[in-house]
Structure 1
């Protein structure tokens, strides 16, 4: 039995040694395989790095080519900018010259516009005056003149009656009898009534835009007065002086409707000539 146990122990030791050796061999093989794998990885990494370096390797001309292209682009842009600046300078000079002459041009245009406006205004005023003259002439000749002429004739007759009544009243005032006083009062009343009628006719004429000319004095004005009689002047300086007014003159707007009829003085050298000249007939 002891011999058998010793044999069993010897076999067990042998098995343990075999297992240990086998384990050691496996470990060594694994370590060898691991080292080979690491070496292969390092070689692969080295190869890839070398390939990348080979691909990324650029020569000096290739490195400088983008820089040269950039410099050429900058030079070309600088030339274009210089050309543009020169054109801008020329344009600025031309604009400055044009702006310098602009106020003069504006003044000339303003003067032309003012001149044209003034011409248009004058033409319009002339046309307006001409049309107004046509209208006034039509109204005067077709509508107003017959009525105005009759009213002026009536005014002249009433003024003549007024003067005659004043003369008759003056003569009746010389009578000392009671009948003379009554006649004077009656004539005075009639004279007042006639004077009121004359004033009423003047008001009616004013509504028709007819006004009386101011009573003339001084020298004869041939535009607004007409001499119907003459008297001898004692002094040459009195030639043409107005002695008295026979009939009042009348205006219609800015027209002389009837000239004032007056008596004037004439120096003796022209007196006979004036007497020989026939008096103009009133229309």
Structure 2
């Protein structure tokens, strides 16, 4: 029997060379894959941290910009109020004077009508600048929006610090009081006890002189 030139047939099989053992280099390839996966996870974590930091930075910057914008708007409004306030106060005073003269007893009907037109024109000028008249709805005194011009005594305790009469409307500009409403209020006064009339004492009678003693 002739022997094959390459040795026995079973020696030429690939599985005979490995004899059930893993192929060389497989373990090293698995370690490299694990290293690559860990590196990829680290990069994802770094990207996530960078993204979170960027989001926080944008939020802080947006808050700062909004705060600066609000402060600038408030500053501009305050500057405008400081510049316009004297003029607006003068217009309100003129409005009060026109109303006072027009309502006086010696003012004729024609003059009162003309003054009323001027007063309406002043109100329109104030309205174009954002100034509106107001009256406090409640009849209790509001120190923040009302000014007491006169006080009327009252014997009713429930009427104390209540509005007796509204003298002039108030004026406000952007919810800020330019001129308080002028009012007259009641003040409780304890009634004094009635004074009883006093009768002057009767002077003692002068005794009549003895005529014999006078002789």
TM-score tier by shorter-chain length is 0.5 to 0.7
CA contact (8 A) 1:216 1:245 kept: no
More strand, by proportion: 2
Counterpart in 2 of 1:58? Answer: 5
| Aligned residues: CA RMSD | 4.2
> Residue 215 of structure 1 contacts residue 245 of structure 1 at CA under 8 Å; is this kept in 2?
no
Listed as ranges, the matches of 1:1-283 within 5 Å are 57-58=4-5, 60-61=7-8, 63-67=9-13, 71-72=17-18, 75-77=21-23, 80=26, 84=30, 117=59, 124-142=65-83, 144-164=84-104, 167-168=105-106, 187-214=108-135, 216-268=137-189
TM-score with structure 1 setting the length? 0.50
User: Is the Cα contact below 8 Å between 2:149 and 2:184 reproduced in 1?
Assistant: yes
Which of the pair has more CA radius of gyration? Answer: 1
TM-score (norm 2): 0.64
Higher relative contact order structure (alpha carbons within 8 Å, sequence separation ≥ 6) = 2
Residue-by-residue CA offset, 1:214-260 (whole Å, 9 max, x unaligned)? 35541111221111221123222222211112222111122111111
> Which has the larger share of helix?
1
CA distance in 2, matches of 1:158, 1:223: 26
5+ residue gaps, structure 1 = 1-52, 96-104, 170-186, 270-283
Task: Measure, in 1, the Cα distance between the counterparts of 2:67 and 2:6.
Answer: 97
Unaligned runs of 5+ in 2: 42-47, 191-215
